[in-house]
Amino acid sequence: MLYFVATPIGNLADITFRAVATLKKCDYILCEDTRYSKRLLTAYEIDKPLKSYHKFNEQKRVDEIIEDLKAGKEIALISDAGTPGICDPGTRLALACIEHGLPFTSIPGPNAALTALVLSGLTTHRFQFLGFLPKKPKEIKSLFEELLHYPGTTIVYESPHRLVKTLLLLKTLDPGRKIAIARELTKLHEECLRGTVEQLLPQLEKAAQKGEFVLLIEGKKEFEQQEWPEIPEHVEELQREGLSKAEAIKKAAELRGVPKREIYNAIHKLSK
Ligand code: SAM
């Protein structure tokens, strides 16, 4: 059995009982950097062999890991921080397990994107996660042009030395767009800056940025600021505009950025 085990993103105490128990029972633990992960194992008295599994040897390693899993070995995969597979190695191994019909599971825990989303104050009921932004300004710009229309919060990981440049680019497209910048989450100097791009840029430009960052961008304004009528009224209104009930439900869900189920439930409750 293979276990994807989430580990802390800064604060060593952020690890679940199940994660520790899983790491303790495995035959060996795959990690990006054996020296770095040793610190975690020492803190939790986990005495298991560490084997390196990182983006440069992922392909090579997969075959032997699959053989070990077939032989009945219990293997855990961790990354330097957070949830393996999320902007970290892991996906290739998950695919190989699926291909070979081998079981694997994910032991949930810390993740920088979701931790930042909760702190951001931006909408949490619809969001997209894009991982790291591309490096070329042209590519970032076209991505921004697209995501500024997304009707929910966009979450990206950004490196400290590119953050200001990225925000200057965003300013050219929408200076008034609300953003949040979550820095050093769960660590001593954790902070979350909230404001519009043009409000936050001057304070970020003042000093070189250090640490780890998550950038969150408010969804399309019309969506965020729209005040909708109660759900049943909204659906009736759309039906009066000529849509069938099913179409009106679908449209209301799209407009409000919620799952269709939520619309059905609200209508159903009323007709009980
Ligand atoms: N697997 C990790 C997860 O589940 O969040 C992400 C790993 S990715 C290689 C590293 C990036 O995640 C960093 O560059 C930063 O953008 C973000 N990150 C990780 N830890 C963070 C923290 N404590 N505070 C803010 N951002 C963090």
Would you say the C-alpha torsion 17, 23, 25, 26 has a positive or negative sign?
positive
Cβ of 8 closer than 6 Å to ligand 1, yes or no, is no
pLDDT value, residue 225: 54
Cβ of 192 closer than 6 Å to ligand 1, yes or no, is no
pLDDT value, residue 124: 95
Cβ of 235 closer than 6 Å to ligand 1, yes or no, is no
Rounded to whole angstroms, the Cα distance separating 77 from 84 reads 7
The residue extents of the domains of the chain are: 2-107, 112-221, 227-271
Closest CA to 267 of 237, 223, 224, 222: 237
Within this chain, domains 2-107 and 112-221 share the same CATH topology: no
Query: pTM for the full model?
Result: 0.84
Closest CA to 114 of 129, 99, 102: 129
Q: For 23-68, write each residue's pLDDT tens digit.
A: 999 999 999 999 999 999 999 999 999 999 998 888 889 999 999 9
Nearest ligand 1 atom to alpha carbon 116? 25
DSSP code for 166: H
CA 124 and chain centroid, separation: 12
Where is 242: in which H helix or E strand?
A: none
> How confident is the prediction along the chain (272 residues), in pLDDT tens digits per residue?
999 999 999 999 999 999 999 999 999 999 999 999 999 999 999 999 999 999 888 888 999 999 999 999 999 999 999 999 999 999 999 999 999 999 999 999 999 999 999 999 999 999 999 999 999 999 999 999 999 999 999 999 999 999 999 999 999 999 999 999 999 999 999 999 999 999 999 999 988 889 999 999 999 865 555 678 899 999 999 999 899 999 999 988 888 878 889 899 988 776 65
Q: Are strands 153-158 and 50-52 parallel, antiparallel or unpaired?
A: unpaired
End-to-end CA distance of the chain: 47
Q: Which of 4, 7, 9, 86 to mutate to test the pocket of ligand 1 (most atoms within 8 A of CB)?
A: 9
How far is the centre of ligand 1, averaged over its atoms, from the C-alpha of 5 (Å)?
15
Closest CA to 109 of 235, 19, 237: 19
Please, what's the largest Cα pairwise distance for the chain?
67
Beta bridge partners of 216: 155, 180
Nearest ligand 1 atom to alpha carbon 83? 4
CA 50 and chain centroid, separation: 26
How far is the centre of ligand 1, averaged over its atoms, from the C-alpha of 9 (Å)?
7
Helices (H), the chain: 17-25, 34-43, 58-70, 91-100, 112-120, 137-147, 163-173, 197-205, 221-225, 231-240, 245-256, 260-271
CATH topology of domain 2-107: Cobalt-precorrin-4 Transmethylase; domain 1 (3.40.1010)
Closest CA to 231 of 255, 199, 195: 255
pLDDT value, residue 24: 98
pLDDT value, residue 223: 54
Residues 54/89, Cβ–Cβ less than 8 Å: yes
pLDDT value, residue 17: 98
How far is the centre of ligand 1, averaged over its atoms, from the C-alpha of 13 (Å)?
17
List the beta strands (DSSP E) in 98-243. 104-107, 127-132, 153-158, 178-183, 191-196, 213-217
Whether domain 112-221 has CATH 3.30.950.10: the reply is yes
Rounded to whole angstroms, the Cα distance separating 77 from 30 reads 5
